[in-house]
Amino acid sequence: MIDVHNHLLPALDDGAENLDETLRMCRMAAEDGIDVVVATPHAYDGKFVTDPDTIRTAVAELNDRLAEEGIDLMVLPGMEVRVSAELPHRLLNGEILPLNDRTYVLVEFHPAHIPVGFENLVHQLVQSGYRLILAHPEQNIGIQARPEYLYKLLNLFDPFTILCQITAASIMEGNGSDSAKTAKILLENNLAHLMASDAHNALSRPPVLSPAVNIASSIIGEERAAWMVTDFPRAVIEGEPLSAQWEPQNPRRWWRLW
């Protein structure tokens, strides 16, 4: 499996505090059947400003250490970027690191709302040759209230220009009932493309995917649940377009009545 969203690099953000914790997380990931992790420290979220070269260096050092320790895991560089009007400018300036230095940019919304004018921002990034991954939309209060927003957003662009990444813990009800309910709605309506751990430590937010894949299998079937942690993230780290017979559907509104 490939985990495209993970805060395992030591002491760069609110993820792993030190190298010991990093190595614990790497062992856990490998034991869960994860082969490749994209390290995605927070950037430009108002708290953390991590530059791409610092991340590239930390990833290279960690891969050397993993080889020494005999831990069978490959770490690739990336970044989780808070959406802001400066995003296109920063990207073109090389201040933002797309996943594995290719074409997909992992972005997160402020958790409380959907950013105004996000569609225009996506247009600018697409014109520059990038695609976007929305980090854990199921945890956004605006999307929890209006999951149909994602359907409309995705349909403004070519298929798979925007991918939605749901977090394993959300499906496991670890991020509250609203996130769990929304994750299920996104799965049922083909609005979730990737599953990732968004791991921050080895205890409360661990780098584990397989239990959540099992739950997703019961909703969308085994094959499609497997794609979310294999074929789709592989295309992401290679910077290649996704292809699948997978049409987004408009979430029905009746669920709101319950």
Does position 13 interact with Fe ion (CB under 5 A)? The reply is no
Residue 237 CB-half CA count within 13 A: 22
Kindly identify the residues of this chain, within the stretch 48-107, that bind Fe ion according to CB under 5 A. Answer: 80
CB of 252 to Fe ion, least distance (A): 30
Helices (H), the chain: 19-31, 52-69, 87-92, 118-127, 141-145, 148-155, 168-171, 177-188, 210-220, 222-227, 231-238
Closer residue to Fe ion (CB): 41 or 251? 41
Angle between helices 52-69 and 19-31 (to 10 degrees): 70
Draw the binding track, 144-183, toward Fe ion (x: CB under 5 A; -: no contact). ----------------------------------------
Segment lying near Fe ion (by CB under 5 A), choices 124-132, 178-186, 196-204, 233-241: 196-204
Helices vs strands, H then E, count in the chain: 11, 9
How many chain residues touch Fe ion (CB under 5 A)? 2
CB of 191 to Fe ion, least distance (A): 19
Closer residue to Fe ion (CB): 21 or 198? 198
C-alpha to C-alpha distance for 75 and 36, rounded to whole angstroms: 6
Q: Quick check: 104 and 130 in contact, CB under 8 A?
A: yes
Kindly identify the residues of this chain, within the stretch 198-237, that bind Fe ion according to CB under 5 A. Answer: 198
Interface positions with Fe ion (CB under 5 A)? 80, 198
